[in-house]
Every structure is written in structure tokens, then in C-alpha cells.
Amino acid sequence: MKVTLVDYGAGNLPSVERALQRLGADTVRATVASDLNGCQAIILPGVGHFGALMHTLEERQLLQPLRATLVRGVPFLGICLGLQALYESSEEAPDRRGLGLLAGRVRPLPVSVKLPHMGWNQLRHKRPSRLLQAVPEDAYFYFAHSYAILEPDEATVAVCSHGACFVAALERDNLYAVQFHPEKSGQAGALVLRNFLERVA
């Protein structure tokens, strides 16, 4: 299985790449639009600022080709900021539009709790999921974020709580995404990546 990693300068891309390679995946980086041609599966890793992500994708002329590829049905996994990018917009960068493949707006977590939400936390599974197949309900995952989708919907397969309930994992058609970092989440995270490779892609 060849997996295309969208390379826009995200600091966690090498660690995602290594995690996939340990599972036997063949990885390639997409830095220009032509790198998306004929791809079998796409992962958008993410750390940083929503506005910077969308600006860089646009600047590298990756934004519209990426969106078109996902509309065609190529399996996709968004990680952390990669989940947020699927939505229409984010309050972190009100002047920047997301991919707009899912309806909704990314909002800040409550200031009443320590931000960023950084460290280990558990999920609450909402419905059966390919991505979370065989993942124990008491498993811990590593989070690092201050913004999230605070309105779970029919795409939501798991939620988490840090001052407010937020979407921790979602699945809709060919779109899969997690707010946590599977590449930093030990055996549970490796199982999520394996499920994407074997059950989705």
C-alpha cells in the first residue's frame, strides 16, 4: 500500500512517516499537485495554525487538487489540524476557508481549562468504526491542540472531553480523521494507523 503524505512543512510529518513505515506502508510525500496523481490513500498530518496550513496549501497549489482528489473518493486520514482542515472554517483564522468537505466551524476550547490540551486522554466511542476497530475503550491517546469541533454529528465516531466535549475521531465515506496524534500514542495509535491501512485504504 502506497500512502501519500501531504507535505506542507508540518513538524510531525517525519514521525507519521516512520510510524507508517513500521507498519509496512510505502510512503511518498506530496509537495506539488502532480504528486497527488494516481495516489491510493492520502494522509494530512498537522500541527500549527489553521491559517498557516490553508495558506501554504494554496501557495503550493495543493489546495484545490487535494480537495478534488478527496471528492473523487480517495481514502483520506486527517491528523489533528488535518481533521480541522476538512471543515468550512476555523475561528483560529476567520479569513481562511477550510477544505469545506464537512459542514462546521472549528472553535476554541474553553479558556476555563489549561490550554493547549496537551497530553493523554481517553475517548468515548459513539458508534462502530473501521478506524477504531479493536481499539480498547479505555485506551489513552496523545492530544496537542487548543481548537476543535465542538458539535459532534453523524460523522463522529468518538468524542473526548477537555473543558468541553469535542470530536476526537470521525468517519464519513472516504474521509477519516482524528484530533489526537496516533503516531505519538503507542500501541493504540499504531492500531488506528493499521486499521486505516488495512480496513480503509
Catalytic residue annotation: 80, 181, 183
Tell me, what's the pLDDT at 75?
A: 98
- CATH number of the domain that 28 lies in? 3.40.50.880
- Closest of 168, 181, 177, 169 to residue 118, by C-alpha: 181
Considering only CA atoms, which of 92, 74, 55, 81 is closest in space to residue 4? 74
201 vs 111: which has the higher pLDDT: 111
C-alpha grid cell, residue 52: 498557516
Range of the domain at 149: 2-200
pLDDT for the residue numbered 10:
72
Q: Give the pLDDT score at 9.
A: 84
Q: Are 98 and 44 in contact (CB under 8 A)?
A: no
| Stretch among 7-11, 89-93, 161-165 having the lowest mean pLDDT | 7-11
Task: Please give the tally of structural domains in the chain.
Answer: 1
* Helix residue ranges per DSSP H, 88-185: none
Instruction: For 88-141, write each residue's pLDDT tens digit.
Output: 999 999 999 999 999 999 999 998 899 999 999 999 999 999 999 999 999 999
Confidence of residue 57 (pLDDT cuts 50, 70, 90): very high
Q: Retrieve residue 196's grid coordinates.
A: 486505516
- 139: helix, strand or coil: coil
The mean pLDDT value of the chain amounts to: 96
**pLDDT at residue 11 above 90?**
no
Q: How far apart are CA 89 and CA 33, in angstroms?
A: 22
Its pTM stands at 0.96
